[in-house]
């Protein structure tokens, strides 16, 4: 092999490693329990709004509610933003955030709408 071919192969391997490292944390959804194992690290959690628990939307920059994840654990969620419109009608919600002192601090919410004719609503930063 020529030196240029070897250098090119090394550059391709490094590029693949960098791309894989960038997208490795976007692959799965977590539960509240698994997110609590590393407090402060951001995760995506799929859950359901607990309609029988209290919701606090008095502050326009903070919405507090309770959500149940796919494992059945219910956790208090603090969203840094106003109450999303029609959150009570959503089938499920995808929350991006982190656990701190047993509470899920949410920076983004995506609501899965029940109708196939309605688009999912995204509130906050889901990136």
37-80 pLDDT, tens digit per residue, is 988 889 999 999 999 999 999 998 999 999 999 999 999 999 99
Residue 127 scores a pLDDT above 70: no
Domain boundaries defined on the chain:
28-124
Q: Look over the chain and give the mean of its residue pLDDT values, rounded to a whole number.
A: 85
Q: CA 30, CA 47: separation in Å to the nearest integer? A: 10
Q: Are 84 and 111 in contact (CB under 8 A)?
A: yes
The H or E element containing residue 71 is none
The CATH class of 28-124 is mainly beta
Indicate the pLDDT class of residue 32, thresholds 50, 70 and 90. Answer: very high
User: What backbone torsions phi and psi does residue 79 show, to the nearest 5 degrees?
Assistant: -100, 130
Q: How far from 50 is each of 23, 47, 103, CA to CA, in Å? A: 31, 9, 15
């Amino acid at each position: 092999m020529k030196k240029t071919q070897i250098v090119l192969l090394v550059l391709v391997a490094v590029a693949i490693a960098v791309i894989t490292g960038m997208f490795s944390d976007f692959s799965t959804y977590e539960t509240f329990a698994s997110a609590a194992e590393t407090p402060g690290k951001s995760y995506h959690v799929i859950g359901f709004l607990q309609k029988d628990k209290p919701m606090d939307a008095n502050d326009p920059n903070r919405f507090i509610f309770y959500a149940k994840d796919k494992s059945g654990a219910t956790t208090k969620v603090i969203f840094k933003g106003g109450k999303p419109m029609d959150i009570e009608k959503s089938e499920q919600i995808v929350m991006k955030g982190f656990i701190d002192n047993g509470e899920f601090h949410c920076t983004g919410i995506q609501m899965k709408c029940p109708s196939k004719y309605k688009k999912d609503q995204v509130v906050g930063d889901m990136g």
